A and B are shown apart, each in its own frame.
Chain A
Amino acid sequence: MSDFKCELKKYRGLMDMTQEQLAEKVGVRRETIIRLEKAQYNPSLKLAIDISKTLNVPIDKLFIFDE
């Protein structure tokens, strides 16, 4: 059960980037990006920062945790 919401798909779409391209830029597999978008995988801080930098979006907008 995921306890956070992930807006990765939305911001990736805005950047016109495919899952494969994003995965390659942050050094993970496409499967990892898929799981992240479905909020089924809780990323490490490093990966979250890498994605945030790549998409130029603050982390708190990408991953929204329930209060």
Chain B
Amino acid sequence: MKSNSDYTANINPRLGWLGLLGFLGFGGFWTYQINNMIFPFCFLCLFGLFGLFYDGKMKHTLKDEMYKDNERKASLKALKLGFGFSYALVIVSSSGIWDIIVTKDFLLIFLLIGMSLNVAIVVILSKFYLYKFDSLEKDNECG
């Protein structure tokens, strides 16, 4: 007998719209003007909630060994891209042009925005790839 933990959560795909909360992150530009506070930029990572669209599409799926295998492949692929993006971010940040063009504050804001978006991208991509790998199997089934 399969328990509930053997299945993916019953998530409504509409919850993916919670990803719109990521726009709260742009409030950082406003708070920076008011009192130099930049932490609201972290809210940009809430864009990752768009991944719930894919979670919803895969609701109540038995987590068998192929599912877990696909989950690992999807996470690895998304993390590789995320790591590449982080590395590119560090390269751009350390390129030296920042000292000439803008202040250190802007460099910090740039990094915070970049890292928050990176988290969102990794979350969305891992869900997307998992859905893609699983749909590929469904396509094969039809073919």
Interface residues of A (CB under 8 A from B): 27-32, 34-35, 38, 40-41, 43-44, 46-47
Q: Pick 28 A–B contacts, CB within 8 A, sort by A.
A: A27-B2, A27-B64, A28-B62, A28-B64, A28-B65, A28-B66, A29-B61, A29-B62, A29-B64, A29-B66, A29-B67, A31-B66, A31-B137, A31-B138, A31-B141, A32-B64, A32-B65, A32-B66, A34-B137, A34-B140, A34-B141, A35-B140, A38-B140, A41-B66, A41-B69, A43-B65, A44-B65, A46-B65
A42–B61 alpha-carbon span in the complex (Å) = 20
A27–B66 alpha-carbon span in the complex (Å) = 11
- Expressed in whole angstroms, the minimum distance between the Cβ of A43 and any Cβ of chain B is 7
- Expressed in whole angstroms, the minimum distance between the Cβ of A41 and any Cβ of chain B is 6
A41–B138 alpha-carbon span in the complex (Å) = 14
**Set of chain A residues within 8 Å of B137, measured between Cβ atoms:** 31, 34-35
**Set of chain A residues within 8 Å of B64, measured between Cβ atoms:** 27-29, 32
Q: A31, A40, A41, A46: which has the most chain B beta carbons within 10 Å?
A: A31
- Expressed in whole angstroms, the minimum distance between the Cβ of B130 and any Cβ of chain A is 13
